[in-house]
Amino acid sequence: GRSIVVLPSTTLDGKKSRIVAQLTKGAGVVTPRSNIEFVVTEFGIAHLFGKTIRERALALINIAHPKFREELLDAAKRVRYVYEDQILPPIYEPLYPGQWETYQIFPPDNQKVFFRPIRPTDERALQEFFYSLPDEDIYYRFLSAMKVFPHRNIQAMVNIDYEHEMAIVGVIGDIGEEKIIALGRYILDQKTNMAEVDFAVRAEWQGKGIGTFLLHYLCEIAKSKGISGFCAYVLASNRGMLHIFHKVGYVVHSHLEGGIYEIYFKFDEPAEQCITD
């Protein structure tokens, strides 16, 4: 069996968090922390088994009531459970946007991939994803030859508001053993109401239509939030990504300068066959 603790995030009057940094003096412990696999509140599920102290602390903070999360983070920093520069995602939607979770099956071998919004607890898995990419894919993704992906950079990619920034990961494996095999994300420019989009897929999962699915799915999410369209910067040598953009289903405008295509398309300009200016 599995050890699961289910509890409301606050006391009945809502004045105290049921998730705390430390137990009160003299409090009894009936279940050791090493035996707990899942903790569940109305704000989500924290998988704790086999995790580091830092990962466990962040997982619990992110299922606490939003009004107590900053307080819990400060307490975790004081006892050095987390990094001093650790951040939390801005809260526009208190609840994790689970409506954007979906499964997709990809030919030719009918492999199933779970797509969901990224979570703050995905930091280590996202680092492992980037380190798994070939140097060429890293260069295509970041337009530079990045070699390291430290905490200070990755935490900004997993702590998002799901409103002005969205990231969808494709994962395989059971809860707690998930491996990220694809990432698609966009960041909104509020002045233009256009969002810059990018995506990447592990080498062994390329050629199955995952990149195409991610772009279409991000379009669907962005349209639901009233965003006007997407823009992207793609190396001229990245023919695979250019091909995905040119079959997205909208009129694609592009401009080549310095070996990089600046691409944009608007959601109110559908096209049976996309064209290039």
* pLDDT at residue number 94: 52
* pLDDT at residue number 143: 60
Other CB atoms closer than 10 Å to residue 192's CB: what's the count? 12
∠ CA 72-115-53, nearest 5°, is: 30
pLDDT tens-place string over residues 51-60? 889 989 999 9
pLDDT tens-place string over residues 211-248? 999 999 999 999 999 999 999 999 888 898 999 999 99
- The CA distances from residue 165 to 117, 149, 221, 273, in Å, are 11, 20, 11, 29
Q: Please tell me the number of Cα atoms within 13 Å of 3 on its side-chain side.
A: 10
C-alpha 3 chain-centroid distance: 27
Eight-state DSSP code of residue 145: -
Domains of the chain in sequence order: 4-78 (3.40.1080.20), 98-266 (3.40.630.30)
* pLDDT at residue number 277: 43
Predicted TM-score (pTM) of the model is: 0.77
List the beta strands (DSSP E) in 173-228: 179-189, 194-201
* pLDDT at residue number 276: 45
What would the two tokens of residue 275 be? Answer: 């064209």
What would the two tokens of residue 35 be? Answer: 């035996």
Eight-state DSSP code of residue 270: B
Residue 137, pLDDT above cutoff 60 = yes
